Amino acid sequence: MASTILFAGSDKYWQAYREPIAQALEGAGVRAHLTDDPATPPETVDYIVYMPLSSLRDFGPYRRVRMVQNLWAGVERIVTNPTLTQPLCRMVDPGLTRGMVEYVVGHAMRYHLGMDAHLFGQDGIWRHGVIPPLATTRPVAMLGLGALGQACAAALRGLGFPVLGWSRTQKDLPGIECHAGEAGLEAVLARAQIVVALVPLTPDTIGLLDARRLALLPRGAFLINPGRGALIDDAALLAALDSGQLAHATLDVFREEPLPPAHPFWAHPGVTVTPHIASETRPETAAPVIAENIRRAEAGEPLLHLVDRGRGY
């Protein structure tokens, strides 16, 4: 019998995902009825493909559901839903990862090469004396060594940057100096000239970059945050920028999104705001991941990218 898959998202995303998911299911040999109809009787639904902007909040009636597949990598908005007792999987999508690598490398290179001086400083003065250093002399901290952090770390390493990685559990990654725990974080921050935050938002990571930890960085360091806004203490960040402890920050994610027009980040000369566009799940590369997970569930095999509710990611 065909399974019923409910796509719980907006019409825009349904239009983008409908065909790729249908094709991927066919390719995976999964017989399924795919619908976005919110009136689908809950007791007939086997799988939910979920976007947090969906109106679906109460998972209680979906007693037959064998898996909820989140369409985004971050799960902080769904993982605490008390009605969700079904297995929850997060998205690990090659297209999403590729986009994040491009964003992080692009902004790291902007800082590394001092591009702003040339983009915004064309004043007729020939400053030939300032040649950018090589990447091999500029340590980068990668906070978070998951799907996205590892890919970004590898790309930066490939360009020559010494990469200092930090994660909850100790990792052993080729070419990356890996650290874990509070002492590891302090060791990493003490040497990093560019910091990239790619940890998920959990009770343990809220306010991760506070005044004390920002003060550990070498003076004049740069920060790139495509992780989550609440990883950073906003007031501490502004103070670090004002004092020169931080030279500049590129922020893609915020405690409140959209970032309110009156927020000081918009006007601060030390902040570049990007509107949560670092990367996004791509239908063509994510659909096979969704189909493979449903195939696994049907076959009773272990699910990919299962969220640990206790850890929150």
State the residues that interact with ligand NDP by CB under 6 A: 73-74, 92, 96, 144-149, 167-169, 198-202, 204-205, 226-228, 252-253, 276, 278-279, 313
For the CB of residue 147, give the shortest distance to ligand NDP in the complex, in Å: 4
Residue number, nearest CB to ligand NDP = 146
For the CB of residue 124, give the shortest distance to ligand NDP in the complex, in Å: 38
Nearer to ligand NDP, 25 or 147 (CB): 147
Nearer to ligand NDP, 192 or 198 (CB): 198
Residues noted as catalytic? 228, 276
Contacts within 8 Å (CB) and 24+ apart, 32-35: 32/2, 32/3, 32/4, 32/5, 32/294, 33/2, 33/3, 33/4, 33/5, 34/5, 34/7, 35/4, 35/5, 35/6, 35/7
Nearer to ligand NDP, 37 or 182 (CB): 182
Whether omega before 258 lies within 30 degrees of 0, making that bond cis, reads yes
**Single-letter residue type at 146:** G
Nearer to ligand NDP, 45 or 198 (CB): 198
Nearer to ligand NDP, 74 or 114 (CB): 74
Nearer to ligand NDP, 54 or 167 (CB): 167
For the CB of residue 236, give the shortest distance to ligand NDP in the complex, in Å: 18
**Token pair in block for residue 198:** 């790619």
For the CB of residue 31, give the shortest distance to ligand NDP in the complex, in Å: 30
For the CB of residue 71, give the shortest distance to ligand NDP in the complex, in Å: 11
DSSP calls for the chain: --EEEEEES-HHHHHHHHHHHHHHHHHTT--EEEE--TTS-GGG--EEEE-TTSS----TT-TT--EEEESSS--TTTTT-TT--S-EE----HHHHHHHHHHHHHHHHHHHHTHHHHHH--SS---TT-PPPPGGG--EEEE--SHHHHHHHHHHHHTT--EEEEESS----TTEEEEEHHHHHHHHHHH-SEEEE-----TTTTT-B-HHHHTTSPTTEEEEE-S-GGGB-HHHHHHHHHHTSEEEEEE---SSSSPPTT-HHHH-TTEEE--S-S----HHHHHHHHHHHHHHHHHTPPPTTB--TTTT-
